[in-house]
Structure 1
Amino acid sequence: MTQITQLFESLADENRLRMINLLIASPYLCVADFQRVLDMPQTRVSRHLGYLRSRDIVTSDRKGTWMYYRLSDRIANNKGLVSTLRSMFAKSEQGLHDIELLLEGLDDNSIAALKEADHYIVEFVIENCCTMGQ
């Protein structure tokens, strides 16, 4: 029961929910990307990501000086949960606004985690974002 409790505690904060929304849309992002889209200081972004990581909601990989965050396999492989969250975010004005900002960042090449990404990953993110409200 502890994992379920930790999951719901993690989802009880709007900022963490917004981060999860972005990681449902994009396979990975870095702290600077969350800062840009969520308009939050680095310390708060890092604190929330640390919280999510400690509860196995997100995982991180270091590439050079950058830390990339993604949904943990436990969450990403739970298609029912991801689908439910995705449909909830699609009905949320804030969730859709965050996705719009992510797309703008892709358009102006300011999403650091995806600057060097293969084109098929960027296309996946765009398609995923564009179908969010459907």
Structure 2
Amino acid sequence: MRLKHINISFGVQLFKAFSDESRVRIIHLLYQNKEMCISDLEMVLEFTQTKTSRHLIYLKSAGLASSRKVDQWVYYYLKDEVLDMVNQLLKYVEKDQVLQKDLEIYQILYSNRELAANRLHNRRWL
């Protein structure tokens, strides 16, 4: 479901979410990677768990993000209905060096995790 029209109160929440650099960085990472757990966000952004949680709670309260729990892990993602608006807003800042660096760090972390998982899997069969 995509939003075609929004009320002013939701618009205000959307713009408030984009008024903070930390939240824009989180939104950008969630948009680019579909979903992420809080520990990955902490590592990429070099935020404390408290700061990361506070911003994620804000994004959830504003109606931009949601979460799903898998065992002890909580994965955060942007709601489908806001993806078009987020995409439009992120187009203006997508070339920002800070946002590009965040993506680069996450890709390195993710590739290292995949490499470690592959090694572990291969050891089991030897």
Q: TM-score, normalised on structure 2? A: 0.80
Does residue 46 (structure 1) correspond to residue 53 (structure 2)? The answer is: yes
How many residue pairs get aligned? The number is: 108
Does residue 9 (structure 1) correspond to residue 9 (structure 2)? The answer is: no
Identical counterparts, % of pairs: 31
CA distance in 1, matches of 2:21, 2:61: 18
Residues 32-82 of structure 1: CA distance to partner in whole angstroms, max 9, x if unpaired? Answer: 010010000001000100000001110011111111100012212x2xx23
CA distance in 2, matches of 1:6, 1:90: 21
CA distance in 2, matches of 1:41, 1:29: 16
Higher Cα Rg: structure 1 or 2? 2
Considering only aligned residues, what root-mean-square deviation do their CA atoms show, in Å? 1.5
Gaps of 5+ in 1: 116-134
CA distance in 2, matches of 1:88, 1:103: 22
1:73/1:83 CA distance change after superposition, 3 Å:
closer
Give runs of ≥4 in structure 1 deviating > 2 Å: 81-90
1:24/1:48 CA distance change after superposition, 3 Å:
same
Gaps of 5+ in 2: 1-7, 118-126
